[in-house]
Homo-oligomer: A and B are copies of this chain.
Amino acid sequence: MGKKVKQGLVMVNTGNGKGKSTAAFGVIFRAWGRGFDTCVVQFIKAETGQWGEIKAAKKLGIDWFAKGDGFTWTSKDMDETIARAVDGWEVAKEKITSGKYDVIVLDEFTYTLAFKWLDTNEVIDWLKANKPKDVHLIITGRDAPAELIEYADLVTEMKEIKHPFNQGIVAQAGIDF
């Protein structure tokens, strides 16, 4: 029921490399190990429940709200993708103010800002006014807007140095998804 965090941080994992979402799930894993209450709102990825992290979260009793309808670049209906992402922000706001969670991940949330489906300044103003001080927030995704970086306490850029997909190796279950 929350309230285990001393000083809630806003953390952003951005950049073109791997590990943005994965590091956020690693924090969830670590926080779960300490008995913290955690949840994930996922903005882009599919609702299939086939992803390894969703399977793990289900097994562990971590709340997982998948609002996305697949990667945007494969979406057939862009309006639907946008509507789901915007609805995801409503869900996120409800979770952030619920008092139920110590650590909340907004996975792939930067896209909703970078693509201007949501107004970055409005989102930040809402967070400044409403995010409880004892809630940690982790936001992931490429192209984090400058305003979000300015607002965040901790920002890490995951930078691709070498990637096997460029060498003809395909994504693999359990590692990449």
B-chain residues with CB within 8 Å of residue A167 when the two chains form the complex = 153
Besides the contacts A19-B23, A149-B161, what 15 more A-B pairs have beta carbons closer than 8 Å?
A4-B174, A6-B172, A9-B175, A17-B156, A17-B157, A22-B23, A26-B27, A29-B56, A30-B175, A33-B54, A34-B52, A60-B60, A153-B162, A156-B159, A156-B161
Let me know if B155 and A161 touch, CB within 8 A.
yes
Query: How long is the Cα–Cα vector from A156 to B9 in the complex, in angstroms?
Result: 24
Nearest residue (CB) in B for A57 is: B33
A169 within 8 A of partner (CB):
yes
Q: Are B174 and A30 in contact (CB under 8 A)?
A: yes
8 Å CB interface, A121-175 against B: 136, 149, 152-164, 167, 169, 172-175
Chain B residues, Cβ within 8 Å of A55: 33-34
B19 and A26 form a contact (CB under 8 A) = yes
14 residue pairs of the A-B complex, CB under 8 angstroms, read A9-B164, A9-B175, A19-B23, A22-B23, A25-B29, A25-B30, A29-B53, A29-B56, A30-B52, A30-B53, A31-B52, A153-B164, A154-B162, A158-B159
CB distance from A149 to the nearest CB of B (A): 7
Asked whether B174 lies within 8 Å of A5 as measured between CB atoms, the reply is yes
Interface size on A, residues (CB 8 A): 61
Name the distance in Å between A10's Cβ and chain B's nearest Cβ.
Answer: 9
> How far apart are the CA atoms of A4 and B23 in the complex, in Å?
23
